[in-house]
Amino acid sequence: MLWSSGSRRRGLRPLLISAVALVALAGAACGDGRVDDEPEAEDPPPSPQTAADLPAPPQPEPPPEPVIVEPPVIEVPPDPDPEPEVIEPEVTVTPEAIQPGETALVRALGVEAAEAVVTVAGVTTPLVLSDGVWLGYVSVTPLSETGIYSAVVDLFDATGAHQESLQGEFEVFVPEPEPPDAAEPGAAAAEPEVDEVTLPPEIAALLAPEFVAIDNHARFVEYTEVTGPPRWVGPWVRPVEGADDSPFGVLRSFNEAPASDWHHGHDIIADAGEPVWAAAAGIVVFADALPVHGLGVIIDHGAGVYSGYWHMSAIAVEEGAEVEAGEEVGAIGTTGVSTGPHLHWEVIVNGRDVDPLQWLRTGLHP
């Protein structure tokens, strides 16, 4: 086929353009036209980040400050003071009934005074203030009559002026004797018991009036003062283990003479040397010998109450010593007017001897 020159030029131009384009592309791919076999370098890995490089975590918002609401102050009125208990003035006597030779406890309640005394059957004795109560002891002798007795309490102020009088009462009675044996109709009532004592002349001589007066002054005059409130609590204890013998109040006859007096204490028979104990707490005010009662101890128990321990062979305490119930004060003996080892135990209230056995029971104790 024949082309004209013009046609041939127009056909080659597009081819040339295409070839040039290919070369340009190849050059762009090869850079400077050289083939480089080494791989193209990669970007270096990022360096590790430290805690300082990290962004700080978000901090939580602090909680809101608590709102303190003060509670309202409520005024509570104080409880009114309780009304003091009003005790009507009163005199009580315990026990309400006693036998001849026994004791009663008198209390004056609900009173205010600087001094108080009680009078029974014409005998006046002082009362003592103990825990806000005026109290004291009254007694009757073994020869006292039966019946109702008045206990009149008189109160005085600090100037000695009489304030008022209060009155209580108690009964003195004698238990009914046991009826005679029915098998013996018409049997007579028992005669009063008489304790007949036989003494050798040398001991009987100690019953001379001058010696008896020495004993009586110590026991019923010198050591009878009311020195303060009671020093003991509760019933007393027996001062020695042994057999009861001549009781309080029994009539006494010496060497077959007519009975002229009654026994002023309670005898307990025991072996010589056996310990003798204080019947209640108190202070020793006498520790010596008397002509009739021999070696003995007197203890002041307060409130005008005293106890005596006689005919002992030894004394274990000194005057002024404080003793407790059951504390040893001496030993059984037979000194003074005595016919054998025993304890003559006395209780003396405001200068009058009373039955000691009653003090082993309740009712008399503060």
Instruction: Look at residue 255 in the predicted model and tell me its pLDDT.
Output: 84
Counting Cβ atoms within 10 Å, is residue 74 exposed (0-12), middle (13-18) or buried (19+)? Answer: exposed
What is the band of 72 on the pLDDT scale with cuts at 50, 70, 90?
confident
**Angstrom distance (rounded) from CA 321 to CA 299:** 9
What is the band of 16 on the pLDDT scale with cuts at 50, 70, 90?
very low
Core vs surface per residue 151-161: b (16+ CB within 10 A) or e: bbbbbeeeeee
Instruction: Look at residue 167 in the predicted model and tell me its pLDDT.
Output: 96
CA terminus-to-terminus distance, the chain:
168
Q: Is the pLDDT of residue 82 over 90?
A: no
Q: pLDDT tens digits, residue range 193-214?
A: 787 888 999 999 999 999 999 9
Which residue has better confidence, 73 or 127? 127
Averaged pLDDT for residues 276-301? 98
Q: Is the pLDDT of residue 25 over 90?
A: no
Instruction: Look at residue 185 in the predicted model and tell me its pLDDT.
Output: 56
Q: Are 133 and 102 in contact (CB under 8 A)?
A: no
**Angstrom distance (rounded) from CA 222 to CA 203:** 25
3 state DSSP class of 255:
coil
Q: pLDDT tens digits, residue range 162-187?
A: 999 999 999 999 988 766 554 455 55
Q: pLDDT tens digits, residue range 294-324?
A: 999 999 999 999 999 999 999 999 999 999 9
Q: Is the pLDDT of residue 273 over 50?
A: yes
Q: pLDDT tens digits, residue range 143-153?
A: 999 999 999 99
Instruction: Identify the bridge partners of residue 306 per DSSP, sorted by sequence position.
Output: 300, 348
Q: Are 92 and 106 in contact (CB under 8 A)?
A: yes
Q: Is the pLDDT of residue 13 over 90?
A: no
Q: Are 335 and 294 in contact (CB under 8 A)?
A: yes
In the chain, pLDDT over 70 holds for what percent of residues?
Answer: 79
**Angstrom distance (rounded) from CA 176 to CA 188:** 15
